[in-house]
Structure 1
Amino acid sequence: MTVDPTFEQVTQNVEPNYVEASRSHDPSNNMKRTDPFQFGSRFLEKGDDVFEFNAWDHVEPDDEFKAFAQTQYAKQRETRVSDFDRRRFNMEPAKWWDKFYKNNTANFFKDRKWLRQEFPILAEVTQKDAGPKVVLEIGAGAGNTAFPLLANNENEHLKVHACDFSKYAVKVMRESEHYNEKYMSADVWDAAAVPSEESDSLPPGLTEGSVDVVILIFIFSALAPNQWDHAIRNIYRLLKPGGRVLFRDYGRGDLAQVRFKKGRYMTENFYVRGDGTRVYFFEKDQLVDMWGTWSAKDGLQIPIGDEASAEASVEEAQPAEEPSAEAKQSAIDNGAFEVLNMGVDRRLIVNRGTKQKMYRCWMQGNFVKRGGPAIETATEPAQ
C-alpha cells in the first residue's frame, strides 16, 4: 500500500538530494553527478575569482542584482501593455509563434541532448527491451527534443508524438531528414484546447490514457495563466496511470525577466516579447501547488489572483484569498499528480571580457499521474 505524501511533505521535501559539494574544475574531485536534480557542482566559494570561469552553479543573486530587479519590476508595472495589444497577443498566440519560426529558420534552438541526463526516464523508454512506449512532446518546435531522443533510440516499439501549435514549426519537423514516421508523428495541437462538438481537444492519433511520458520544456511559460487549467486537464486525460510529466521552465527573477523594458508587462510575471510571443516566470511553490493540488474534479486549486485572466487589467484584478492549511491538505490528498521533484536551477553566467554577471533561474519538475505504478527509471543518469 502506497501512502500519499502530506502537503507539508510535498512542499518541504522537494529539493533534490545532493552529493557532497565538489568543484567540477578540480581534477581531483570531478565526478559525474548522480542526481539529475543536482544541476551541476561548480560552487562559488569565498575567495574565488568569479570571472575565472564562464558559469557557476547554485548562486543566489547578490544584493545589487536584487535591488536592480525590484527597480525594474516597478518600472515594468508602470508601463504595461495596452488593453488593445494584450488582446491582440492573447487572441492568436499561434500566429506569433509561426512568425518566430519563419524568422529563425537558420538559427533554431540547439538540440537538447542534455535531457537524457536531466530526465533519465527518457533513456529508459529508448532501451531495446523497454516495450511499447508513447512519448508526447508538447511545444516541440523544430524537433530539438524529439530528434535527439530518436537518435538514441533502440526501442522498436517507441512512438514519439511531437506537437506544436505553430503550423510552420510542424512543417519544419516533417520536412527534416531526421523525421521517421515509423517512430515519430508531428502534428499541430494547442495544449490548452477545450473540448467542443468538433474536437475532443486531444492531439491527432492519441486517446485518453495512451501516453507514458509528457515532455513540457519551456511550454507553460508560453501560455496565459488562464490556460493552465485546460492544459493540465488535457495532459491528465492523455497520461496513463503512473505516467510521467517532465517539466522545465523559466523561474522568477531570471535575467530575461529583469531585462524587460517598458510596454512588455501584461500581468504579474507575465510578459510579451518584442516578437509577439509570451512568457511567464514561475515561483517554485507556485508550481508545487499547481501540480500537487490539481484534480480532475475541481481543476486548478492555487490562488493566482490577477493572473487568473490574461485579459484583465491590473486595476480590475482582485487578489485571491490564500487557502487555509486544511484546504491545502485536502487538495493535496485529492490531487491527480504526485510531485516527485521540484528543483530550482540557479546559475551565474559571466562575461569574462566585459566583467558582466548574469543571473539565470529555471524551474525543473518531475510529476507522476496517480492511480497506477510509476514507470521505473534508472538510479543513475544516462551516460
Structure 2
Amino acid sequence: MNDRPIPPAYPFNEAVALDVDPLYAKLRREEPVVRVGCPFGEDAWLVTSHADMKTILGDPRFSRAMAKERDESRLTPLPIHTSILGMDSPDHTRLRRLLAKVFTMRRVELLRPGIEAEAHRLIDDLVAQGPPGDLMEDFAVPFAGTVVCDLLGVPFEDREQFRGWLDAFSATTVMTEEEIEADTERLHGYIAKLMVHRRGQPQDDLISAMVKASDEEEKLSEKELVELASVLLIAGHETVSSQLIDSLFVLFTHPEQFALLRERPELMPRAIEELMRYVPLISHVTFARYATQDVELSGTLVRAGESVLPAIPSANRDESVFENADLFDLTREHNPHLGFGYGIHRCLGAPLARLEMQVALESLFARLPGMRCAVPPETLEWKDGMQVRSLLHLPVLW
C-alpha cells in the first residue's frame, strides 16, 4: 500500500506574463526535489535546481523513451512522444545524426542574406503603413515562419492553413484531446504529401535532404521522417517567434538595458544569451524523464521507474549559478543557461535561432529609431492555455 501523502497540485500558479513563480526560489533553497501531482498522468518529482536539471537532462540513467510505457506526468491532455523528442539513444542518435548531416553550420550561415532580406522586407512594410505597428503579427510571426519554411521547403503561402495546427503541440487547456489529435493528424498528413513530392522532385531544402539521407543511409521510416519534419516546423515557427516577441517585451520593460544595447551593439551576442536565460519561454516544465535505476538528486532518492519533471525557468534563475539571478543584465559574462536544453536533446537549431534573434533585433533597432511599446506593458494580452509563453500582440511606435 502506498502511504505517501497526496502531493500538491502542479503547476502551483498560472503563469503571469513573463514572471517566474517565486515559489521556485523557496524550493531551490529548502526542497529542490519535491513530489507533485500533474493535471494529467501519474505523480512526479519536480526538479528545480540547475545542477539537478543538468543531471536529469544529460545523464543516461534518465529516459525519455520510458514515458511511452507509462501514463506520463504532463500538463498536456495527450502525451508528446513525437519523433526525436520521445527517444533515447541509439534511436535518438540515429535521427539526430541525419539532422546533423543536413542542418550544418554552413547551411545556417548560407541563410543569413535571406534572413536579413526578409527582416528588412517586413520592416519596409511597417514603415510604409506607419506607426503603430504590431511586432507580433506583422514581424515576429512572418519572420520566423518564412525562415523555417524556406529552410524546410514548406510553401509559405500555406501558412494560414497549417499555422493553427501547430498549436496542438503545446496546448494545455485551450484544446480538447480530440482537437489535438485531429490537428496533429492534419499536420502530419500535410508534411507526408510534401515528402512524397520531394522524393520525386527534390529541391535545395531540408525536407529533400532528409528524404535523400534517409533513403540512402539512415533508413528512417516514413512516420519518423514526417514527425521529425513536423517538430522542426513547430520549433522554427512558434518557438522562435515567441522567443523573439518575449525578448522585445523584456527590452521594452528594461529601458536602461535597452538603451545600453543600442549604445553598445557589440553586446548583442551576450544580450541574446541573457534573453535566452531570462525569458521563461516554457511556462512550467518540459517533458518528463524516467529513472532507469535509483538516483539521488539533492539528497532525495528517485527510485527506478519514477518520473522527474525539469522546471527549466527555475534552473535559469538558480542563485548558486547566476549572480543576481532575477536581474536582467545583458553584460552578464558567466551564463550557462539551459534555454536551449542540455544533453542529447539540446536544441540542434540553436545556431539558427541565435542568428534569427541577432538579425531581427539589429534590423529593428537600425530601421525603427526610438522604437517603444505603444501601450502600457501591463495592458498587453498573453496567450492562454499553452505551454509556450507569448504575447498575442505587441503594438509599437517609433
TM-score by shorter chain over 0.5: no
Structure having the larger proportion of residues in helix: 2
Structure having the larger proportion of residues in strand: 1
**Larger RCO (alpha carbons 8 Å, 6+ apart):** 2
The TM-score range, normalised by the shorter chain, is: under 0.3
Give me the TM-score of the superposition, normalised by structure 2: 0.25
Give me the TM-score of the superposition, normalised by structure 1: 0.26
